[in-house]
Amino acid sequence: MRVIPAALLLPLILAGCKREARETRLDPPVAEALGGVRVMANGISGQPPMVNAAQGEPYRNNAYQLAQGKRLYEWFNCQGCHADGGGASGPALMNGWWRYGPDAVSIFVTLRDGRPNGMPSFRDRLTTEQMWQLTGYLQNLGATVAATAAPSRNDAMQTRPAENRAPAMGALPVSPDR
């Protein structure tokens, strides 16, 4: 009888570990392995590096990595074209519509190589780890359900609900074909 409550608690406990661990300095082999992305010929999707899964998908689940992604979003002028996710000269990132697909590899490749319609390449400006941090943050920005690990509001002008407050999608995304 006593085992059952413990068994219920265990996943919660482990989730807490993964969410809160703070890896401030990446081992060099891991950092190098993060670049091992295999991309499909059309530049969309592919296979993420194995080390992501081995580490427990930190760029999706870890609060610290997501918060770092949010800092990078401001530091690298993403707001200049994409505002706080609402879009300006660049498309919106918070409406749940992904031009090149919602998976992490597509977003990572967008950051690394740029895209034809004006998205610059950040290959020479961000480390691979930073690109993954941004990728995880962007997936959170355009997510349908707010994650516990999602970052909270910035100490800045309030432009939209924080990522941990409201899911990104209000209405269903609209396909350009319609």
Partner 1 sequence: MRLAALPAVVGHSITPVAAAVVDRELGQPWGFRVTGWAVAALLAMALPGNVGAAEVPPAEKELTPASVGQLRLAFTFRTHHPGPATQAPLADGKTLFLLTPFPHTLYALDLATPDATVRWRYTPEADGTARGRSCCGEGQGGMSLEGGRLYVNTLDGRTLALDAANGAPAWEVRTADPSSGESLASAPLPAGGKLLLGNAGDRFGVRGWIAALDAGTGRRLWRLHSTGEDAEVGIGAGFRPLYPGDDRADRGVASWPPSAWQQGGGGVSGPILWDAGSGLVFHGTGHPAPLVPDQRQGDNRWTSGLFARELETGRARWFDPLNSHDLYGLGATASSLLLDRDWRGAPRRLLVHPDANGHVYVLDRGTGEILSAEPFVPVNATAGVDLATGALRRDESKAVRRGRMTRDICPASPGAVTGASAFLPETGLLYIPSRRLCMDMEARNANYIRGTGFTGANLRLRPADGEGQGALVGWDLEAGRPAWTVPERFPLSGGVLATGGLVVYGTLDGVLKALDARSGAVLWQFQAASGILSRPVAFRGPDGHAQLAVLAGSGDGPEAEIDRRDASAEDGMGNVLRDLPRSPDPGVTLYMFRLP
Partner 2 sequence: MTPAERDLRDAALEATEGAGALERRLERTWRTREGFWGALSTVDHKIIGRRYIVTAFAFLALGGVLAMLMRLQLARPESRFLSADLYNQIFTIHGANMMFLFAVPVAEAMAVYLVPLLVGTRNIAFPRLGAFSYWVYLFGGIMLWVAFILQTGPDVGWFAYVPLSGPQYASGKRADVWAQMITFTEISALAVAVEIVVTVLKQRAPGMSLDRIPIVVWAMLVMAFMIILAMPAVVTGSSVLIMDRLVGTHFFNPAEGGDVLLWQHLFWFFGHPEVYIIFLPSVGMLSTMLPSFVRRPIFGYLALVMSIMAIGVLAFGLWVHHMFTTGLPRLGESFFTASSMAIAVPAGTQIFCWIATIWLGRPVFRVPFLFILAFFFTFVLGGMTGVMVASVPLDTQLHDTYFVVAHFHYVLVGGAVFPLLGAIYYWFPKITGRMMSERIGRWVVGLLFLGFNFTFFPMHILGLQGMPRRIYAYPPELGWGGMNLFVSLCSIALAAGFLLFFVDAVRSARKGPPAGDNPWDASTLEWATTSPPPPYNFARIPVVTSAAPLWDERAALPVASGLSVNRRELLITTMGTATPEVRETSPQNSIWPFWAALATSVMLVWSIFSPWALVWASIPVAITLIGWFWPRGTPEDDA
Q: Which residues bind partner 1 (CB under 8 A)?
A: 74-81, 83-92, 94-95, 97, 99, 116-120, 125, 156-160, 170, 174-176, 178
**Shortest Å, Cβ 40 to partner 1:** 20
20 binds, among partner 1, partner 2, none (CB under 5 to 8 A by kind): partner 2
Both structure tokens of 171: 């209405």
Q: Which of 37, 55, 59, 66 binds partner 2 (CB under 8 A)?
A: 66
119 binds, among partner 1, partner 2, none (CB under 5 to 8 A by kind): partner 1
The full DSSP string for 20-62 is H----S--HHHHHHTT--EE-TTSS-EE--HHHHHTT-HHHH-
Q: Rule CB under 8 A: say whether 145 interacts with partner 2.
A: no
Q: How many positions of this chain bind partner 2 (CB under 8 A)?
A: 26
Q: Rule CB under 8 A: say whether 159 interacts with partner 2.
A: no
127 binds, among partner 1, partner 2, none (CB under 5 to 8 A by kind): none
CB 167 within 8 A of CB 92: no
Q: Which of 34, 63, 134, 143 binds partner 2 (CB under 8 A)?
A: 63
Q: Which is nearer to partner 1, 55 or 93 (CB)?
A: 93
Q: Rule CB under 8 A: say whether 13 interacts with partner 2.
A: yes
Q: Mapping DSSP to helix (H, G, I), strand (E, B) and coil, where does residue 134 land?
A: helix
Q: Rule CB under 8 A: say whether 147 interacts with partner 2.
A: no
How many CB atoms lie under 10 A from the CB of residue 109?
22
The full DSSP string for 54-118 is HTT-HHHH-HHHHHHHHHHHHHTTHHHHHTTTT-SSSPPSSSS--TT-SSHHHHHHHHHH--TTS
Q: Rule CB under 8 A: say whether 157 interacts with partner 2.
A: yes
Both structure tokens of 24: 């401030």
